[in-house]
Every structure is written in C-alpha cells, then in structure tokens.
Amino acid sequence: MSTEFDTLTQCLTDNDMVVDGAEIHGMMCGMLCGGMSLSEQQWLVVLQDTMNQGQPLAKTVSEQLQNLFNETCQQLVDGQFALRLMLPDDTQPINDRGLALINWVQGFMAGFGLYQQKLSNCSEDVREALEDFSDIARMEEPMNDDEESEQALHEVVEYVRISALLCFNELGQSLLEDQQDSPSVH
C-alpha cells in the first residue's frame, strides 16, 4: 500500500489536513475492528470531525477515503488474513516507517475506542493486543538502519496486522450480520 500511502498522504497535505495515510487508515481499521458496521456511512463524518476539525472534506479526499474504506472492508472480510496496513514501503527510511506505524496504531486506538468502550466485552487476547498497541503508540526511540532493526520493525508490523484482524474477527460486524439485521418480508 506504499504508493497509496504516498498518494493519500500528499492529498491530505494538499488539503491542509495534519494526518498521514497511516493514521487515517489506522482510525478507519480501528472503527471497523471495534464493531462499527461495514455498511455504516457515518465513518466519513467521524473522520471529518476527528481529523479535519469538523470541516467538510475536499471531494478528492472523500473519494480517496471511500476507495480506501471499500478496499479495507474487503480485506477484513476476506478471511485470508488479507489486511494490509497503509505504511510507507521498505525503501523509505526505517524511522519514517516506524513513525508511520506509530501513527497507524494511534489512529487504530482512537477509532477502536469510539466503538468499543467496554474492554470487559473483549477476550483476554484482544485486551492484551490493545495493551501492546498502547505500548507501540508510545514508542519514541529512533531505530538503527540495520538488519536487526529491519527485522524487528517487520515483526511488529506483522503483529499489529494480525492483532487488528483478531479484533475484527472478535468484535467486527460482517456484511452478513448487517443484512440479517434488516427486516425481511415474507
């Protein structure tokens, strides 16, 4: 998703938004993994309120976010662990990628908290993953540009990805559930 990261981040910057593609994707994933319905269209208003001081989003931003939302929903319901975090690619400096991961996790935590306030409803695995996310979100130390740091960052990214899927599998709403909620006519 790196070219998408660059494209979306540039679009956000061009429209005077102070978030990057990682943070906005993290928040979107957090809302979905915290229990927001896949068919709910309020997510755009939530992002507008939280990431753009309540100001209307530019048409180009809205269109890119709608595409990202659709793609993210598809990845989450795929069942094949298809979720890809929106982060810079491996050619970018390691500290830029680490910062983007921190932004993604902070966005995830914010989005998750909007839809899942009762952690007592969550399994021990989900609570543990969220505690780890909280630790990741507070990381500040610069990383060395060496193989060991590359491997460590890769492992943390993979852990975050799998943990987000765990949250979605436990708390997320599927399209099938959305359709079952609507009354049927016999």
Residue 174 makes CB contacts below 8 A (sequence gap 6+) with 38, 77
> For residue range 13-71, what is the model confidence (pLDDT) as tens digits?
999 888 999 999 999 999 999 988 877 778 888 888 888 887 888 999 999 999 999 99
pLDDT of residue 174: 56
Q: What is the DSSP letter of 183?
A: -
CATH number for position 22: 1.20.120.740
Q: Does the residue 154 lie in any domain? A: yes
Q: Does the residue 184 lie in any domain? A: no
Q: Does the residue 131 lie in any domain? A: yes
User: What span, in angstroms and rounded, lies between the C-alpha atoms of 97 and 89?
Assistant: 8
Q: Does the residue 24 lie in any domain? A: yes
Confidence band for 185, pLDDT divided at 50, 70 and 90:
very low
Q: Answer yes or no: is pLDDT of 156 > 90.
A: yes
Q: Answer yes or no: is pLDDT of 80 > 70.
A: yes
Which residue range is the domain that position 136 belongs to? 2-172
Burial of 24 (0-12, 13-18, 19+ CB in 10 A): buried
Q: Does the residue 185 lie in any domain? A: no
Q: What is the DSSP letter of 35?
A: T
Q: Which residue has the higher pLDDT, 179 or 118?
A: 118
Contact 44, 64 (CB under 8 A): no
How many domains is the chain built from? 1
Over pLDDT 90: what percentage of the chain? 60
Q: Does the residue 136 lie in any domain? A: yes
